Amino acid sequence: MNAPIVVFAYNRPDKLKLVLEALRRNPEAHSSELYVFCDGPKKIEEPLKQEREISRHSEVSNLAQRVEGFERTRVILREKNLGLARSLIAGITEVCSQHGTAIVVEDDLVVSEEFLAYMNFTLQRYRNEPRVASISGYMYPTAERTDLPDSFFLRGAECWGWGTWKRSWDLFDSDGTRLLAQLREHGLETEFNPGARGPYLEMLRSQIEGKVDSWAIRWHASMFVRNMVTLYPKCSLVKNIGFGADATHTSDAAEKKYAVDGRGHLPTRFPDLIEENAEARHFMHNFFNQGANTAAGGPRNLYKKMRAIAGMALRATGVRRRKP
């Protein structure tokens, strides 16, 4: 039996259409149940912007309710705007409680035609492995040019096209302060950051201080402190299309750093040993450290570059910035 697919949408009908079409091209879609959680419109003081917000939300709702190609579709329309974190946490909790597992896709992630085959096979293969937290469909760029194996484990969790089980999601801790204390208690702060320039500690602290509202940094930390791992493909099966004029949390720099074509091949070899792959960990350190020591134009350009990297890393972990 295939795992249910859970799509989270808000106010981008054009992108949601591409996301649903990509999922539908997977042969397994016809035997998969689809949930679409549509967050409610925000309240905006300016009348014209409020009208546009409601109009786009209506387009998203209509699109979700008309989708075909799945065994069964359930559309959940939120009357109020919960925000990404609350909407996603509530939705995954609901679906995992009913089905015991879930495949999670946001409305800016286009998946390959082999994504569902990969997800369902690996969710079944590792379902009884308590150290395996989740399955990731996304992998960072340039990995395909390395000697990494077909698939491998990394410590923690991922947030761009992924799947998990109720047993793992039940361990999600929404208390960022407690998670940071656990990282400190076990001496994991340095290891938690992938490389000297890794952004994760800063994100967790920002979430604690109320500067950002990230579900994913808490999900990653929840699994990391328990020494749980996530399976990754060498070649990404997911492409993020959330860059552009209507992107709230991304930039051109983000697109360049995280862009992949998302058409990776279906892995044929999977690890039997449940432990983090040392070579993959080394790759992640290099990925986040690249360019850290050099920047054309001196300190001013270096400062701009690090600000751009911080911004794209926030989006890569499901962040919504809070207004000051």
Lowest mean pLDDT among 55-64, 144-153, 171-180: 144-153
Domain of residue 303, CATH code: 3.90.550.10
When pLDDT is averaged across residues 294-303 and rounded to a whole number, the result is: 32
Give the DSSP letter of residue 43: P
State residue 288's pLDDT score.
Answer: 81
Burial of 317 (0-12, 13-18, 19+ CB in 10 A): buried
- pLDDT given for residue 197 in this prediction: 67
- How large a percentage of the chain has pLDDT more than 70? 81
> What is the rounded distance in angstroms from the CA atom of residue 94 to the CA atom of residue 73?
15
* pLDDT confidence tier of residue 259, bands split at 50, 70 and 90: low
Q: Is the pLDDT of residue 256 over 70?
A: no
Asked if the model's pLDDT at residue 25 lies above 80, the reply is yes
- The confidence score (pLDDT) of residue 38 equals 96
Q: Please report which confidence band the pLDDT of residue 193 belongs to, taking 50, 70 and 90 as the band edges.
A: confident
Taking alpha carbons only, the member of 268, 209, 203, 207 closest to residue 234 is: 268
Contact status, residue 295 vs residue 240, Cβ threshold 8 Å: no
Neighbours of 75 (CB within 10 A): 19
Q: What is the mean pLDDT of residues 101-107?
A: 97
User: Residue 262: what pLDDT?
Assistant: 64
Provide, rounded to the nearest whole percent, the portion of the chain with pLDDT above 90: 71
Structure tokens, 83: 């925000």
304 pLDDT tier (thresholds 50, 70, 90): very low
243 has pLDDT over 70 = no
- The pLDDT assigned to 299 comes to 33
Q: Is the pTM of this model over 0.85?
A: yes
| Total of domains in the chain | 1
Tell me the average pLDDT across 238-246: 74
Mean pLDDT, rounded, for 233-258: 66
Task: Indicate the pLDDT class of residue 59, thresholds 50, 70 and 90.
Answer: very high
Whole-number Å distance between alpha carbons of 144 and 149? 9
Mean of the per-residue pLDDT values of the chain:
86
Domain range for 300 is: 5-321
289 band by pLDDT with thresholds 50, 70 and 90: confident
Neighbour tally for 223: CB within 10 Å: 25
Residue 227 region, left (φ>0) first, then alpha (ψ -120 to 50), else beta?
A: left
Can you give the pLDDT at residue 130?
98
Question: pLDDT grade, residue 196 (50/70/90)?
Answer: low
User: Which H or E element spans position 37?
Assistant: strand 33-38
Above 90 in pLDDT, residue 128?
Answer: yes
Burial of 8 (0-12, 13-18, 19+ CB in 10 A): buried
Characterize 150-187 residue by residue with b for buried, 16 or more Cβ atoms within 10 angstroms of its Cβ, and e for exposed: ebbbbbbbbbbbbbbbbbbbebbeeebeebbebbeeee
pLDDT of residue 9: 96
Q: Which of 47-51, 203-207, 258-262 has the lowest mean pLDDT?
A: 258-262
Is 119:237 a contact under the CB 8 Å cutoff?
A: no
* Amino acid making up residue 79: E
Q: Where are the alpha helices (DSSP H) in 68-160?
A: 84-99, 115-125
